[in-house]
Structure 1
Amino acid sequence: MYETIELTKQGRTAYLKLNRPKSMNAMNGTMMKELADCFESLLNEKSLQVLIIHGEGRAFSAGGDIKEMMDPENPMDIDLVMKEVTKLAKALYTLPQITIAAIHGASAGLGFSMALACDHVIAEENSKLAMNFIGIGLVPDGGGHFFMKERVGVPKAKQLIWAGQTLKAHDALAKGLIEEVTAEGRAMEHAEAYAAEVLSSPVQARLASKEILHQLKVRELEAVLEMEAKAQSAMRKSGDHLEGIQAFVEKRKPEFKGL
């Protein structure tokens, strides 16, 4: 059904696997569209009560696919992509399931925004977590501003977004960005243990609380997504973004000029 992701269902639990392992599950246009479609399809799946999101191969997700951004023959249509990213983030935030992100390896950029949107984030201790858009002259998207702010507040969100640092799991836990750290190779085991705990609890009450708390914020998330789309479109045309991408490809330090 999907090219870049895989959705399986087992009882009341669904598993969503990001499945571009050769690209460290970097999100190309196809994956963004498929994720948006998949999350929207789950909005009506009331029989499913838990969703575990994880990555195939060496990473959860390295973020947006920079190779596709740079492709001169078939350049990424940023406005079209942002529409899919907006759909993806809103559907994920409003899902009628308890969502669990099981992170190993890298969770960066849009991949990190998506993880932060989940209800319970588990990361293996050596995983690398980064809201690193600033490094290539972009702003967080996929609701990154909203999800970061919801977890740590506006002042800390600004500092984290502006720094664009790569955090180890224990640092992210200390900052309040994630819920749980596990040993290497055990994120899925812990995700399934948490899912079992959820399913053996009064899960309808949990889901009702989630809906109350999230519905209060949906309009704010929509406004953030609209602003992110406009800002990202503008940033993609900036000199600093072009320099950031070029420096990334050439493996050198960028020289930003504020343009």
Structure 2
Amino acid sequence: MEFQTIQLEISDRLATLTLNRPNAMNAMDLNMLKELAHCFESLQDNEEVQVLIVKGAGKAFSAGGDIKMMLQTENAISFEDIMDYITRISQAYYQLPMITISQIHGAAAGLGFSLAIASDIVVAEESSKLAMNFIGIGLIPDGGGHFFMKERVGVPKAKQIIWEGKMMNGKEALAVGLIDELAPEGSSQQVVSQLTDKLLASPISSMLETKSILHSQKLDELKVTLEKEAVSQLKMRNTNDHLEGIQAFVEKRSPKFIGK
């Protein structure tokens, strides 16, 4: 399958997937969601690749779900289809038989941040803008955001971060445990390259067995979380607060929420 919104390069035991909508800050539209689902599902059968790097083209990792797509779901695009693709992406990515690395520069927000922290190793530059900011438009995290946030920081801290929706830089995210490696400005590719070389020079087969054992114990929990996120997200999309959040975003003003 030829991709339009992502690029996949494979060389020996290393694969690099680039989110490739730079003019939209790699926001995930329906086409990108379809392509990511297909790509990750196809990689599950690849026994040669042992490390996968996920990064963004241009100035950002990913700004999250495409707001224009959200505005279109009342008509041309089915919300259920969108959530189905998001579920497929998260489940396939979590089960990949390779070590996954997020290489973050610029923004990684919303669904983009859910994908980033789903990786085995998260590398972010100091000036990165990281946010689980669904709350800003009256929604909840999806893409397994609840699960991956809880896995990294625990339930109490996960709730605080999700509810606040605060934009964090790399240092702040490292301090709370949301990322694993901090890279100086403009050096994320160099840091990830060094990390990849180290991994590929290690007994990586044993590392992948450990990943398989640990993830297999959590897979059912992730599936339940994704099911609950899909149901709850539909509920939130029908609230006044979500409509106000979207309208305020489009109009570039502060939203006025009423709790309904």
Q: TM-score, normalised by structure 1?
A: 0.98
Return the alpha-carbon distance in structure 1 between the equivalents of residues 107 and 47 of structure 2: 31
Q: Residue in 2 aligned with 1:230?
A: 231
Report if the CA contact (8 A) 2:73-2:79 is conserved.
no
Whichever residue aligns with residue 38 of structure 1, its letter is C
Q: Which ranges of 4 or more aligned residues in structure 1 deviate by more than 4 Å?
A: 72-75
Return the alpha-carbon distance in structure 2 between the equivalents of residues 164 and 75 of structure 1: 29
Q: Residue in 1 aligned with 2:131?
A: 130
Q: Residue in 2 aligned with 1:43?
A: 44
- Per-residue CA deviation, residues 133-173 of structure 1 (Å, 9 max, x unaligned), is 00000000000000000000000000000000000000000
Look up the SS of the partner of 1:210 in the other structure. Answer: helix
Question: Cα–Cα, structure 1 residues 72 and 158, in superposed 2: closer, same or farther, change >3 Å?
Answer: closer
Report if the CA contact (8 A) 1:69-1:75 is conserved.
no
Q: Residue in 1 aligned with 2:162?
A: 161
Q: After the TM superposition, which residues 137-152 of structure 1 pair with which residues of structure 2 at under 5 Å, given as runs?
A: 137-152=138-153
Among the aligned pairs, what percent are the same residue? 56
Q: Residue in 1 aligned with 2:11?
A: 10
Q: Residue in 2 aligned with 1:33?
A: 34
What is the CA-CA distance between 1:253 and the residue it aligns to?
0.9
Look up the SS of the partner of 1:122 in the other structure. Answer: strand
What is the CA-CA distance between 1:61 and the residue it aligns to?
0.1
Kindly tell me the number of residue pairs found equivalent between the two proteins.
Answer: 259
Return the alpha-carbon distance in structure 2 between the equivalents of residues 73 and 90 of structure 1: 26
- Per-residue CA deviation, residues 213-240 of structure 1 (Å, 9 max, x unaligned), is 1000000000000000001111111110
- Per-residue CA deviation, residues 18-66 of structure 1 (Å, 9 max, x unaligned), is 0000000000011011101100000011110000000000100000000
What is the CA-CA distance between 1:76 and the residue it aligns to?
3.6
Report if the CA contact (8 A) 2:137-2:244 is conserved.
yes
Return the alpha-carbon distance in structure 2 between the equivalents of residues 155 and 73 of structure 1: 35
Q: After the TM superposition, which residues 198-209 of structure 1 pair with which residues of structure 2 at under 5 Å, given as runs?
A: 198-209=199-210
Whichever residue aligns with residue 221 of structure 1, its letter is L
Look up the SS of the partner of 1:194 in the other structure. Answer: helix
Structure 1 gap ranges (5+) = none
Q: Residue in 2 aligned with 1:21?
A: 22
What is the CA-CA distance between 1:75 and the residue it aligns to?
4.6
| Aligned-residue CA RMSD (Å) | 1.0
Report if the CA contact (8 A) 2:95-2:215 is conserved.
yes
What is the CA-CA distance between 1:73 and the residue it aligns to?
8.4
Return the alpha-carbon distance in structure 2 between the equivalents of residues 76 and 112 of structure 1: 23
Report if the CA contact (8 A) 1:68-1:75 is conserved.
no
Q: Residue in 2 aligned with 1:100?
A: 101
- Per-residue CA deviation, residues 171-205 of structure 1 (Å, 9 max, x unaligned), is 00000000011111111111111111111000001
Structure 2 gap ranges (5+) = none
What is the CA-CA distance between 1:69 and the residue it aligns to?
1.3
Q: Residue in 2 aligned with 1:119?
A: 120
1:245 and 2:246 aligned: yes
Return the alpha-carbon distance in structure 1 between the equivalents of residues 94 and 146 of structure 2: 14
Return the alpha-carbon distance in structure 2 between the equivalents of residues 45 and 78 of structure 1: 31
Look up the SS of the partner of 2:168 in the other structure. Answer: strand
Return the alpha-carbon distance in structure 2 between the equivalents of residues 72 and 248 of structure 1: 17
Return the alpha-carbon distance in structure 1 between the equivalents of residues 49 and 224 of structure 2: 29
Whichever residue aligns with residue 67 of structure 1, its letter is K
